[in-house]
């Protein structure tokens, strides 16, 4: 029931994130260009075609102040204070504010993110709290649902993350009367290698996830076990170019350079495939695959991204064209 509402503008903040360490510097192209627009074309399995255009606006100080989604008549506006800290983002659709994300800082570092949203008359609120080193330490989500008979029901989901010597060792998630505890093991770089879940109602007991990485810390395989039986796995492949997201966007002032505890993408993902166990034949079958190709200019900026997604027997192809303003 709980919706995990996360900031949607800067680099997809996941529920478990950490700051970039000096011992693992990510390669970076000298960024002298600003992304202006992304124009995408989608071709569906039935031959129908869709298009979308995303534009970016900047102020005189070259701060990103708005992202416009032309197709959906929506935009995200950003507000900064006099010290250049990002203080608020507002998502607007059809002229109405549907989501507000506010940021609070302590000693110049991000301390709290609060997301409030309204959807179909319902209200959602998520609060994320960070430690001084950039680690996410807690997440509280609250849904206020008004039913057709006028009854108001509030659902609260609280997650607390635990650390030992700076490494993530577990999390405890509480939703209503349910408590789910996850024991986490990490490697020497702090990336999660194993998760073992236990639930007080036993519905998730016996679940285990294994994560594997390449030499650069990129996730290449995730395995899911139920009662010690492999029931699902994902595989990931990458190219040798710098991750396009690092070129397109940068973290706001005071925000840690977010890296996911499940590895980080130094390069661009070129393939992601999902396999599930057929319970009758006991054979792993591919149920989903997405593939991507990228084109760059001579300075390393992405010009085009093409992709194909095959899911449930249906194929979607898309092409995204990037426009930059270089000074």
| Distance between CA atoms of residues 291 and 111, nearest Å | 37
- What tens digit of pLDDT does each residue of 23-50 get? 344 445 555 688 999 999 999 999 999 9
- What tens digit of pLDDT does each residue of 199-214 get? 765 555 678 999 999 9
Predicted pLDDT at 200: 62
DSSP string for residues in 24-84: SPPP-----EEEEEEEEEEE-TTS-EEEEEEEEEE-TT--EEEEEETTTTEEEEEEE-TTS
Specify the pTM.
0.80
Mean per-residue pLDDT for 88-108?
Answer: 94
Query: Is there a contact between 143 and 22 (Cβ–Cβ < 8 Å)?
Result: no
Residue 75 Cα distances to 29, 71, 98, 103, angstroms: 28, 10, 10, 19
| Distance between CA atoms of residues 17 and 146, nearest Å | 33
| Distance between CA atoms of residues 294 and 228, nearest Å | 39
- Report the residue count for the chain: 327
Query: Is there a contact between 161 and 135 (Cβ–Cβ < 8 Å)?
Result: yes
Cα dihedral 310, 312, 315, 319 in deg (nearest 10): -60
What are the φ and ψ backbone dihedral angles of 170, each rounded to 5 degrees?
175, 175
The lowest-confidence range among 14-28, 230-244, 301-315 is 14-28
- Of 117, 102, 160, the closest CA to residue 136 belongs to 160
Predicted pLDDT at 66: 96
Predicted pLDDT at 132: 84
Per the prediction, the chain carries an average pLDDT of 85
Query: Is there a contact between 168 and 187 (Cβ–Cβ < 8 Å)?
Result: no
| Distance between CA atoms of residues 167 and 171, nearest Å | 12
Query: Is there a contact between 284 and 233 (Cβ–Cβ < 8 Å)?
Result: yes
Query: Is there a contact between 43 and 316 (Cβ–Cβ < 8 Å)?
Result: yes
């Amino acid at each position: 029931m709980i919706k995990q509402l996360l900031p949607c503008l800067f680099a997809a903040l996941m529920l478990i994130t950490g700051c970039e360490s000096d011992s693992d510097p990510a390669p970076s192209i000298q960024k002298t260009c600003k992304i202006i627009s992304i124009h995408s074309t989608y071709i569906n399995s039935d031959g129908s075609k869709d298009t979308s255009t995303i534009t970016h606006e900047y102020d005189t100080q070259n701060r990103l102040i708005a992202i416009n989604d032309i197709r959906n008549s929506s935009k995200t506006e950003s507000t900064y204070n006099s010290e250049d800290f990002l203080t608020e983002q507002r998502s607007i659709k059809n002229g109405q504010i549907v989501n507000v994300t506010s940021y609070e800082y302590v000693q110049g570092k991000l301390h709290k993110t609060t997301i409030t949203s309204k959807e179909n008359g319902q209200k959602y609120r998520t609060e994320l709290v960070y430690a001084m080193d950039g680690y996410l330490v807690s997440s509280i989500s609250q849904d206020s649902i008004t039913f057709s008979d006028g009854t108001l029901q509030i659902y609260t989901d609280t997650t607390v993350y635990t650390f030992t010597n700076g490494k993530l060792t577990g999390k405890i998630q509480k939703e209503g009367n349910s408590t789910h505890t996850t024991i986490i093991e990490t490697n020497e770089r702090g990336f999660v290698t194993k998760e073992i879940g236990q639930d007080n109602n036993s519905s998730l007991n016996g679940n285990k996830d294994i994560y594997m990485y390449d030499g650069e810390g990129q996730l290449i395989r995730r395995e899911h076990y139920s009662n010690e039986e492999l029931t699902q796995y994902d595989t990931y492949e990458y190219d040798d170019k710098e991750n396009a997201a690092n070129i397109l966007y940068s973290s706001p002032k005071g925000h840690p350079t977010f890296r996911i505890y499940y590895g980080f993408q130094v390069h661009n993902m070129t393939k992601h495939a999902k396999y599930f166990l057929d319970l009758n034949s006991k054979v792993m079958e591919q149920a989903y695959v997405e593939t991507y190709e990228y084109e760059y200019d001579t300075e390393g900026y992405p010009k085009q991204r093409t992709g194909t997604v095959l899911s449930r027997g249906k194929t979607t192809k898309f092409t995204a064209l990037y426009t930059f303003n270089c000074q």
